[in-house]
Structure 1
Amino acid sequence: MLIAVTGGTGFLGAHTVAALLRRGHRVRLLARDPGRVPSTVDVVTGDVTDPVAARRLVAGADAVLHAAGVYTFDSRRRDELWRVNVRGTEVVLGAARRAGAGRIVHVSTVGTLYPTTAPSVGPASPVGEPREAYLQSKVVAEGIARRHASVGAPVVVTYPPALLGPDDPHLGDQNARLRAVLRGLTPIWPGRGLPLGDVRDSAELHARLLGGEVPARAAFFGPGNFLTTRDYLATARAATGRALPAVFVPPRALYPVGRFADRLQRVWPWALPVQYGAIHVCATAVPVDPDAPTGGVAARPALETVRDTVTWLHATGRITGRQAGSAAVSTSDADGVSAALTGPGSGAVQTEEVLS
């Protein structure tokens, strides 16, 4: 099968591309810099907001994965969120539908279903009305996908949880947050919790969907677990053997802190570890219904995911041995660990392009 992919050089996209290649599928990527794309895939040069490039990408494709998007709670990137997440979705899904692709997978996020008064979310859950720029952009993008599906287009929406895992080309939001925890930059945490999954599990779900291994339905949820923030820190402690002291505060009590940090971020040149959006997710998140479809992919234990991520962060020089604790690798083993995590069977494609 020929599968067209946007966002194939980002975190989830790169892992999905690797899973597709392992299955023997042909992959065609949309990328702004072809020189950073592996030689094992076809490339269309362009941006997701470029209708001509989108038409070239999807021409003759059996299936389309729209995984491109800006995932950040950084208040400085509001315009970029709407340009890429909303306009990009309009362009790519419209092109895929007109090209007659047999299956179109739109990557949303479970966060679009918050806030909710229900005890859990599932395929029948309506989108929420979040008060945060990233989630607002993803809600509008999902509305575009749902409209295409409502008129008969073969659109499937997937809802990944917050994703951790090795082989992150850009050290995205969640891996950067774990790194901040290990560096002692986030000693104060909002209470409640968040859905957390392994990027390799969501990539496996996407590969099954795109390859036709899973019967079509309107929506699927990325495999994951709901962890309280206390559980999250406990898992990081177990993975590293470190104390990682922290104070837990009711999340809404931290809203003013998050809003102030967002305003400060607009003039502060370095990324701040405190963001209103992250606090908002912890305040509003609920578990995914245990019967929600995951394409038959079981979520791996959170401890395995966190340990693998910490090991990768250390092996690639992003944290020190002291910060990695018991998950650290020796200098002599670091190259071997890095090769094992980034090699052909690891589920990752190493690149630097995030928005294509």
Structure 2
Amino acid sequence: MLVSVTGGTGFVGSHSVAALVRAGCHVRLLVRDKDAVGRALGPLGVEPDEVEVRVGDVLDPAGVASFVSGADAVLHAASVYSFDARKADAMRRVNLQGTENVLGAARRADVERTVYVSTVAAMWPANGRTIDVNSPVGRPRETYMATKAAAEEVARRHQTEGAPVVITYPPALLGPFDPHTGDQAARLRDTLRGLMPIWPLGGFPVGDVRDTAALHASVLTRPLEGENRFFGPGRYLTTRQYLDAVRQATGRRLPAMFMPARPMLPMGRMADILQRFWPWHIPAEYGAVYTTVHATAVAAGAPTHGIEARPVDRTMADTVRWLQASGQISRRRAGTAALV
């Protein structure tokens, strides 16, 4: 089975590629930097010569058409995930136009199954207390979420028109071996460095990237039984529960103050404005605060294609150990999760 994968050198994509290779699939990657393949897949036990590599960009329609031609399935995981205000333009281009290009090309090539990696945030703010596969697309006032909501509309339109498109909804993901140390890993790193002394109240769904990767391998290789939308395994954590999980994984006190989230939104906006001119990353982000205000739990029993979420404490400890092993935090900051 040939699976064409976009975003295969990213966090979700690289773990999904490793899961697909373990499942016996032949994988074709579309990458902008060929050298990134080894850096992303090597730590996961996949050698560069085990996958086919095409150099290109999801923003190039002709290149995308060639990339999906002859594939049995497509996994579209390419996305810019960030609350960094400096990446707003890239998010609009890649998250929306890239999805238009890939899903359209796969449909024209008669690919048997195309999996689009969305996010639970595409359905925020939600009308109810939980979200499920039938929840409407959200209308968020935050750039990353807004671009993913717009891309979700594209994917659902293809589904409505009968195209064999499957949508997955990962939660906020942690886990080891994040090739670019994305927002979630960076937030945990900043917490361990003592740069997050103030937290907004609220919460968000959290999961392990390895579980979402297992979901992708499963929905690409096993029967779907009539379903075409699946949630990445995870659990809703309040920010207090999140920080308690970090404390448990590290044995550290990590003192913090919690404040109501809505009054912190203007502070996040100001930080985003400052970030456009300040060369170093500012941990306080409007998108992170906005998330804790509007994040909604996934309904119990929502389909995950039989993939169970691993314990949060295991995910947290594995992520902390990887942060230490990769030199991003010291052994002292890793606490009891430190490598021996």
Shorter-normalised TM range: over 0.9
Q: Secondary structure at the match of 1:34?
A: coil
Aligned counterpart, 1:4: 4
Q: Secondary structure at the match of 1:292?
A: coil
Q: Is the 8 A contact 1:209 1:216 kept in 2?
A: no
The superposition leaves residues 81-108 of structure 1 with CA deviations (integer Å, 9 ceiling, x where unpaired) of 1111111011111000001111111111
Aligned counterpart, 1:319: 329
1:22 partnered with 2:27: no
1:243 partnered with 2:253: yes
The superposition leaves residues 16-36 of structure 1 with CA deviations (integer Å, 9 ceiling, x where unpaired) of 000000111100000112233
Q: Which has the higher contact order (CA 8 A, sep 6+)?
A: 1
Moved more, 196-205 or 28-37: 28-37
Question: Which of 278, 284, 295 does residue 274 from structure 1 map onto?
Answer: 284
TM-align CA RMSD: 0.9
Give the aligned residue type for 2:239: T
Question: Which of 144, 148, 151 does residue 141 from structure 1 map onto?
Answer: 151
Once residues 215 and 25 of structure 1 are traced to their aligned partners in structure 2, the CA distance between those partners, rounded to angstroms, is 21
Could you tell me the TM-score, scaled by structure 1's length?
0.91
Once residues 257 and 86 of structure 2 are traced to their aligned partners in structure 1, the CA distance between those partners, rounded to angstroms, is 28
Question: Which of 182, 185, 205 does residue 195 from structure 2 map onto?
Answer: 185
Structure 2: which 5+ runs fail to align?
38-47
Q: For 1:124-139, what aligned pairs fall within 5 Å after superposition?
A: 124-139=134-149
Q: For 1:204-223, what aligned pairs fall within 5 Å after superposition?
A: 204-223=214-233
Tell me by how many angstroms 1:216 deviates.
4.6
Once residues 318 and 36 of structure 2 are traced to their aligned partners in structure 1, the CA distance between those partners, rounded to angstroms, is 25
1:170 partnered with 2:161: no
Could you tell me the TM-score, scaled by structure 2's length?
0.96
The superposition leaves residues 249-305 of structure 1 with CA deviations (integer Å, 9 ceiling, x where unpaired) of 110011111000000000000111010001001111121001110010010111000
Aligned counterpart, 1:33: 33
Aligned counterpart, 2:41: none
Tell me by how many angstroms 1:113 deviates.
0.8
Q: For 1:227-242, what aligned pairs fall within 5 Å after superposition?
A: 227-242=237-252
Once residues 271 and 178 of structure 1 are traced to their aligned partners in structure 2, the CA distance between those partners, rounded to angstroms, is 14
Question: Which of 83, 89, 93 does residue 99 from structure 2 map onto?
Answer: 89
Aligned counterpart, 2:44: none
Tell me by how many angstroms 1:51 deviates.
1.0
Moved more, 10-19 or 215-224: 215-224
1:46 partnered with 2:44: no
Q: Is the 8 A contact 1:114 1:130 kept in 2?
A: yes
Structure 1: which 5+ runs fail to align?
331-356
Question: Which of 193, 198, 203 does residue 208 from structure 2 map onto?
Answer: 198
Runs of 4+ in structure 1 deviating by more than 4 angstroms, as ranges, are none
Tell me by how many angstroms 1:213 deviates.
4.6
Tell me by how many angstroms 1:52 deviates.
1.6
Give the aligned residue type for 1:149: Q
Q: Is the 8 A contact 1:156 1:216 kept in 2?
A: no
Q: Secondary structure at the match of 2:222?
A: coil
Once residues 132 and 286 of structure 1 are traced to their aligned partners in structure 2, the CA distance between those partners, rounded to angstroms, is 16
The superposition leaves residues 136-182 of structure 1 with CA deviations (integer Å, 9 ceiling, x where unpaired) of 00011111111111111001111000000001000001000000000
Q: Secondary structure at the match of 2:207?
A: strand
Between the aligned residues of both structures, percent identity stands at 57
